[in-house]
Amino acid sequence: MTVVSEERNKMKEVDREILDELLEKKDLHTLKEKIDQYNSVDIYKYIETLDTFHSVMVFRILRKDDAAEVFSKFNTEQQVNLLKAFTDDEIKDIMDDIFFDDMIDMIEELPSGVVKKVLRFSDDEHRKLINEFLNYPEDSAGSLMTIEFVELKRYMTVKEALDYIRINGLDKVTVYTCYITGPERKLLGFVSLRDIVTATDDTVLDDLMEEDVIYVHTHDDQEYVASVFRKYGFVALPVVDNEGRLTGIITVDDILEVMEDEATEDFQRMAAIAPDEQTYLEQTPWKLAKHRVTWLLILMVSATFTGKIMNRYNAMIQSVIALNMFIPMIMDAGGNAGSQSSTLIIRGLATGDIEISDYIKVVFKELRVALVVGLILAGVSFIKCMVIDHVEIGIGLVVSFTLMCTIIMSKLIGGTLPILAKKLNLDPAIMAGPLITTIVDALSLMIYFEVAHIALHI
Amino acid sequence: MTVVSEERNKMKEVDREILDELLEKKDLHTLKEKIDQYNSVDIYKYIETLDTFHSVMVFRILRKDDAAEVFSKFNTEQQVNLLKAFTDDEIKDIMDDIFFDDMIDMIEELPSGVVKKVLRFSDDEHRKLINEFLNYPEDSAGSLMTIEFVELKRYMTVKEALDYIRINGLDKVTVYTCYITGPERKLLGFVSLRDIVTATDDTVLDDLMEEDVIYVHTHDDQEYVASVFRKYGFVALPVVDNEGRLTGIITVDDILEVMEDEATEDFQRMAAIAPDEQTYLEQTPWKLAKHRVTWLLILMVSATFTGKIMNRYNAMIQSVIALNMFIPMIMDAGGNAGSQSSTLIIRGLATGDIEISDYIKVVFKELRVALVVGLILAGVSFIKCMVIDHVEIGIGLVVSFTLMCTIIMSKLIGGTLPILAKKLNLDPAIMAGPLITTIVDALSLMIYFEVAHIALHI
């Protein structure tokens, strides 16, 4: 969580050198003056380059809200190191100022011993709230939301609201959309700061309030939440629980991360890798290997089937060995054509451009695309067989015709399997290149040998 | 462009039926009252279900700003139809209220005859501005930005600023970040509405202003702009030209779209498809076929090389035909292992988690991952050869050893080619599954036959 639209200076390379110098000279007064101007993202990037000793030194001179925000950007390992070096008072200061959603993210990752140390200073009510938030399923709206929002009442006047925002607004994530709640914190509506600022002082919020606000539920999946943001272009969305009580808000900066993570997850699944939230460089080779080996094993064992087909036609291959050289080309063309179709459909399903009900449209479209692409490939491959490979015309025809059939079959399989997966509530992304290739390989070889068998009388 | 954080009611299925009924009864007064409450996205979704005649009828009763915003959401074909049905006055009203970036997007797509009709009402200055914006390269910051922002001067007091915002703010995309400009519109800094609202009336903006604001240039690529938004979590970013003059702002809702489009483009490139901004269902079969056939042809012709290798070892295959059945498995395992590596690296490069300078780290990591994965696959495949395929132990050993070598080679090629592409200023996404598979196929077959040649003395 970054405070939405908080913009401060960008740190340039030359600034870092100045900071390094000041730190070296232990001129903490000037250092503080300098560093306070920078954006917390850049302060984090700067501290990340220092050792723990100097990091703690810089942390001590940061503004309290910066310290909390910078701290929340470090990864778990770095946080543990820092927490070990901080005094109790320093830990308390950071915990007081850290945004609630960042605290939850942190507590979820920290070793339990460290969590105890961190939560020593929380009162009972706070602890109860933390436990409640820890219980929201991963990737749910509840796990994304934060509690720092401005809550107003419908009977307040514009002047009262502005006074309230002046006093309470500064530690909120956003003051630009204020939520109106009734008894038991039921969400009644919202009013934008734009409307408050442009109204007269004695206007009652009730007159400015928009009712039936667009909101999400604590248990909604983050992918759905992202789609709501995308559809409406909002900066923040309120989150309500089953009883319609306002429990938090989600801001768009967290959604940018969700969108990136969801796309990354799809890329991983589509390449037959078990998804992981850590970046490539963060993962150990063991972990990377574990995520990759399962699917490779499944696909390898599935290829047995393709091997059996090859085996069945051994006699045919031995009598016309020229057939063998086209096997890689036919297998690859089928795999590639199928991957093209499945990728487009998987992505369309993910962005919402394609729905299960478009099934017939997709099949019909893939069929027409396959006819065009198949004819072109068959034509070119026939010429290639004659001019480059110098094979008999019969074999050239068999290869071209097989290619045509393979393309049509691959595109139909690649186009339909992702939709079928979605229909069965599976992730369509598993129906991508690797799996499609394995399926299509077996089928295309069968077509190849059967066509050869019939056409060449072997 | 949607006004950032403008939230209005969500239209439910039941509401649509009520609207349909009112439209049927031509009770336009009640219809207007109802429809005015809804969010422009939902109004658009509703009108989209109507025929042109009824669409125009609903357009006539919309609030002027809604009409412009709803209109900008339609696709080009629908816009042309509507423009034909609108009167001159109606066109003028929409053009007056449409956001500038939406107008530019529209003009870029509309047939030139319609553009003339639309621009008939613009004055010379406006036309000059439009031409300037049309000249920004596609996918640049300039093509994303809009001109509706609040511009203040440093000598203004808080009271003057609030008065200015009250009068001018309502047709701006956002009033929450106001930009301070000096002579010749040079960007000096910014001040947030939060700071204005929480300051006393006679404070001068100069004291509230943050200098050295983070901005982008008109010619920056949209991918870079998105990365700045992701890094800092901003809601809006100012855009300056070469002379440092403030020319527009970009808001986060447009960045959500950019991120989605960039991911989609990578998915397409990685599946060997020429990228297209239209959705799958919008593209004609001809267009889809055109985007797919080029790479399929390139890959097919490249497979000739693999065919030649098969050809060279014809004698060996004929003497030990059992070797043939493992060809699909070895080819697929190599392709899949290579795709896994290249996908992770391509995605890491796209999100900025991996940089060119990480080259050595990547190679070393892939090598270790490949050793682990290769050993497991080799072990399992040896057991499979013995238990399921019942081949001689010599062939089992050749297959397992080849598999091990293939995995290592594929992972190294898959890990390094995307980084090499980036180094050469090519899009790393082309170094994905299909191309890697073709390269790895040839090499793995060569390994297979050479290992067999040496080990089995054939």
Region for A185 from its dihedrals, namely left if φ exceeds 0, alpha if ψ lies in -120 to 50, beta otherwise: left
Q: Do A303 and B328 touch (CB under 8 A)?
A: yes
CB contact (8 A) between residue A299 and residue B336: yes
Q: In what order do the strands lie in the sheet with A236-240?
A: A216-217, A236-240, A246-251
pLDDT at A257 over 50: yes
- Give the least confident one: A40-54, A184-198, A298-312, B182-196: A298-312
Residues A331 and A402 sit within 8 Å (Cβ to Cβ) = no
Strands (E), A241-350: 246-251
- Which run of H or E residues covers position B191? strand B187-192
Cβ contact, residue pair A288, B162, below 8 Å? no
- Over chain A, what is the mean pLDDT? 83
Across the interface, whether the CB atoms of B259 and A259 are under 8 A apart is answered yes
- Full DSSP string of A419-449: HHHHHTTS-GGGSSHHHHHHHHHHHHHHHHH
Cβ atoms of residues A281 and B353 within 8 Å? yes
Residues across chain B: 458
Crossing angle of helices A252-270 and A222-232, in 10° steps, is: 120
User: How many pairs of residues across A and B have Cβ atoms under 8 Å apart?
Assistant: 410
Chain B interface disruption, residue of A165, A318, A369, A402, most B CBs within 10 A: A369
For residue B318, what are its two tokens?
């004929």
Q: What is residue A402's predicted lDDT score, i.e. its pLDDT?
A: 92
- The candidate with the shortest Cα–Cα distance to B445, out of B333, B337, B331, B338, is B331
Q: Which amino acid makes up residue A358?
A: D
- Selection from B33, B258, B231 nearest residue B145 by Cα: B258
Q: Which residues of B touch A192 (CB under 8 A)?
A: 5-7
Q: Test B280 with A353 for CB contact under 8 angstroms.
A: yes
Instruction: Report the gap between the CA of A212 and the closest CA in chain B (Å).
Output: 5
pLDDT > 70: what percent of chain A? Answer: 96
Query: How close does chain B come to A107, measured CA to CA in Å?
Result: 22
Q: Cβ neighbours of residue B397 under 8 Å, at least 6 residues apart?
A: B382, B455
Cα–Cα distances (Å) from B1 to A312, B66, B209, in that order, read 61, 12, 27
Which chain A residues have a beta carbon less than 8 Å from that of B434?
332, 335-336, 339, 433
A379-429 pLDDT per residue, tens: 988 998 888 888 888 888 988 999 999 999 999 998 898 898 888 888 888
What residues form DSSP beta bridges with A308?
none
Can you tell me whether residue A64 is helix, strand or coil? helix
Q: Residue A440: which residues within 8 A CB-CB, separation 6 or more?
A: A331, A334, A335, A338, A406, A409, A410, A413, A414
What's the gap in Å between the CA of A124 and the closest CA on chain B?
32
Going by DSSP bridges, is the β-strand pair A210-211/A187-192 parallel, antiparallel, or unpaired? antiparallel
Distance CA A383, CA A385 (A): 5
B236 CB contacts (<8 Å, ≥6 apart)?
A: A5, B4, B149, B173, B174, B176, B177, B249, B250, B251, B252
Rounded distance between C-alpha atoms, residue B5 and residue A98, angstroms? 25
> Which of A372, A365, A413 has its CA nearest to residue B284?
A365
Please say if the pLDDT value at position A320 is more than 90.
no
pTM for the structure as a whole: 0.74
Contact B253, B1 (CB under 8 A): yes
Contacts of A317 (CB under 8 A, 6+ apart): A310, A323, A324, B317, B321, B324
Task: Compute the distance between CA of residue A164 and CA of residue A182 in angstroms, rounded to an integer.
Answer: 17
The shortest C-alpha distance from A339 to chain B (Å) reads: 6
pLDDT for position B9? 56
Q: Are A22 and A31 in contact (CB under 8 A)?
A: yes
pLDDT given at position A12: 64
- Chain B residues inside the 8 Å CB shell of A44: none
Half-sphere exposure of B217 (CA within 13 A, CB side): 8
The contacts of residue B195 (CB under 8 Å, 6+ apart) are B208
Contact by Cβ (8 Å): B167, B139? no
Name B182's Cβ contacts closer than 8 Å, sequence gap at least 6: B154, B188
Comparing CB atoms, the residue among A175, A299, A343 nearest residue B267 is A343
Mean pLDDT to the nearest integer, A313-339: 83
How far apart, in whole angstroms, are the C-alpha atoms of residue A179 and residue A187? Answer: 7
* pLDDT 10s digits, A51-90: 888 888 888 888 877 888 888 888 888 888 888 888 888 8
- Show the low-confidence residues of chain B (pLDDT under 70): 1-14, 170-171
- CB pair distance less than 8 Å for A198 and B321: no
DSSP B33-53: HHHTTB-HHHHHHHHTTS-HH
- Contact state of A273 with B377 under an 8 Å Cβ cutoff: no
CA distance A88 to chain B (A): 30
Query: Which among A231-235, A277-281, A445-449, B276-280 has the top mean pLDDT?
Result: A445-449
CA atoms of A301 and A278, how far apart (whole Å): 29
Q: What is the pLDDT of residues A342-359, one digit of tens each?
A: 888 888 888 888 888 888
CB contact under 8 A, B344 and A310: no
Closest to B334 in 3D by CA, of B381, B293, B270: B381
Question: What is the rounded CA–CA span in Å between residue A100 and residue A251?
Answer: 13
Name the residue of chain A whose CA is nearest to B354's CA: A281
CA B114 to chain A, closest CA, distance in angstroms equals 28
Give residues with Cβ within 8 angstroms of A231, minimum separation 6.
Answer: B41
Are A7 and B434 in contact (CB < 8 Å)?
A: no
Which chain A residue has the Cα nearest residue B379?
Answer: A297
Q: Is B437's CB within 8 Å of A332's CB?
A: yes
Instruction: Give the Å distances, CA to CA, from A86 to A31, A36, A240, B39, B170.
Output: 20, 20, 37, 49, 48
Q: Are the Cβ atoms of A213 and B7 closer than 8 angstroms?
A: yes
* Distance from the B120 Cα atom to the nearest Cα atom in chain A, whole angstroms: 31
For B414, which residue in chain A has the nearest alpha carbon? A271
Q: Which two tokens stand for residue B407?
A: 């995995």
| Integer Cα distance of B71 and B82 in angstroms | 9
Distance (Å, whole) CA A182 – CA B87: 46
∠B234-B236-B239 over CA atoms, to 5°?
Answer: 120
For the stretch B117-174, pLDDT in tens is 777 777 777 777 777 777 788 888 888 888 888 888 989 998 888 888 887 776 677 7
Query: CA of B162, closest CA in chain A: separation in Å?
Result: 8
pLDDT band of A13, cuts 50, 70, 90: low
Chain B residues within an 8 Å CB radius of A9: 210-214
Cβ contact, residue pair B7, A318, below 8 Å: no
Distances (CA, A) of A337 to A382, A417, B302, B308: 18, 14, 15, 22
* E strand intervals along B346-407: none
CB spacing of B328 vs A441 below 8 angstroms = yes
- CA torsion angle for A349, A354, A357, A363 (degrees, to 10)? -100
Respond yes or no on whether ipTM tops 0.90. Answer: no
Closest residue in B to A212 (Cα) is B9
Q: Answer for the pair A220, A255: CB distance below 8 angstroms, yes or no.
A: no
Among A177, A201, A235, A438, the residue to mutate for chain B (most B Cβ within 10 A): A235
Q: Determine contact, residues B349/A316, Cβ cutoff 8 Å.
A: no
3-state secondary structure of B114: helix
Mutate to test the interface with B, among A288, A354, A359 (most CBs of B within 10 A): A288
Asked if A168 and A150 touch (Cβ cutoff 8 Å), the reply is: yes
